[in-house]
Amino acid sequence: MSKTLVIAVGGNALIEDPHHVSVPAQYLAARHAAQSLGGLIAAGNNLAIVHGNGPQVGFILRRAELARGVMHEVPLDSCVADTQGALGYNLQMALGNEIHARGLKRSAATVVTQVLVDKKDSAFSHPVKPIGGFMDEAEAMRRSKEEGWNVVEDAGRGWRRVVPSPQPISILELDVIRALVESGVVTIAAGGGGIPVAPGDGGEIEGVEAVIDKDKAASLLARSLNADALVISTAVPRVCIDFGKPTQKELDVISVAEAEALAAEGQFAPGSMLPKIEAVCAFVKATGNEGLITDPAHLSAALEGRSGTRIVP
């Protein structure tokens, strides 16, 4: 029986080699991602795909820095929109080619997606999400003074700009996404976590200088669609505890309560696995359906219960 699946694909999955980041190289990575999704499409599942965009937003900001004084700055909401279009195009074409290669009668489409946030979210007073390139301290202090940037020293590697990462509240194009998914269109949506928007003083929707966590947006989309499963594709086939230690252990099936207890123990790194665990737990608690975390090569096996880490009610 076909299922409705929301699958989150990291932005780094679309850059397989940090020394080869050209557009053709990124398309090749998208083609590999499409191949890993092909089996799920061939099985008749309805898919909504949420991709990350961290490295790609960094490229846009770097270009703006290099063109400073010649070209205009690009606000963050436009950076997200730009990457939704460009990465959506890559994935849409790659998926279309994969569908054609398998002889399937399906299509793929990208939805430029706005996600509502609250301007009163505490994230706006405590920005923590690093974006863009590294700077020396003098440059960071100048940018902070002249442009109002929040800057932090990043683990001895230099200074970086940090921006708010508020909680996603609702997806404005949800009805469009649902109609496409239910009709069998492989739908790429909420790319990069979605374009952050909020009502302005006059009540009209406007862009917000922030970024939304991709996994949180995928969880919101999966809950909103009442998907049969939320699948987060990452760099490892299974979630581990005691990661990197001699006592490292892979997790097969765990309950939400067990996952939350392990998170409270500090088993999951805040910048990598923790947001994925939190996103899946939120989905499972809201829907009663299962969540999965695995790598691209094991997507089909994970959905068949033969790989990956399953988080259950």
Q: pLDDT tens digits, residue range 146-160?
A: 888 899 987 777 898
Question: Given pLDDT bands bounded at 50, 70 and 90, which one contains residue 205?
Answer: very high
Q: What is the pLDDT averaged over residues 272-289?
A: 95
Query: Which range has the worst mean pLDDT, 285-289, 290-294, 303-307?
Result: 303-307
Q: Which domains does the chain have, with CATH numbers?
A: 1-34+46-116+168-227 (3.40.1160.10), 127-163 (no CATH), 229-313 (3.40.1160.10)
Question: Do the strands 186-188 and 195-199 form a parallel or antiparallel pair, or are they unpaired?
Answer: unpaired
Annotation says 245 is catalytic: no
Annotation says 129 is catalytic: yes
Annotation says 249 is catalytic: no
pTM: 0.92
Annotated active-site residue in 12, 96, 207, 285: 12
Annotation says 285 is catalytic: no
Annotated active-site residue in 10, 46, 129, 289: 129
- Which segments within the chain are labelled E, that is strand? 4-9, 46-51, 108-110, 114-116, 129-135, 150-153, 159-163, 170-171, 186-188, 195-199, 205-207, 229-233, 240-241, 249-250, 253-255, 290-294, 309-312
**β-sheet bridge partners, residue 282:** none
Annotated active-site residue in 276, 289, 291, 308: 276
Count of positions (residues) in the chain: 313
Question: Do the strands 186-188 and 46-51 form a parallel or antiparallel pair, or are they unpaired?
Answer: parallel
Annotated active-site residue in 45, 214, 216, 289: 214
- What Å distances lie between residue 5 and 80, 119, 222, 298, CA to CA? 23, 31, 8, 15
Question: Given pLDDT bands bounded at 50, 70 and 90, which one contains residue 138?
Answer: very high
Annotation says 119 is catalytic: no
Annotated active-site residue in 11, 38, 52, 291: 11
Question: Given pLDDT bands bounded at 50, 70 and 90, which one contains residue 135?
Answer: confident
| 8 Å CB contact between 214 and 6 | no
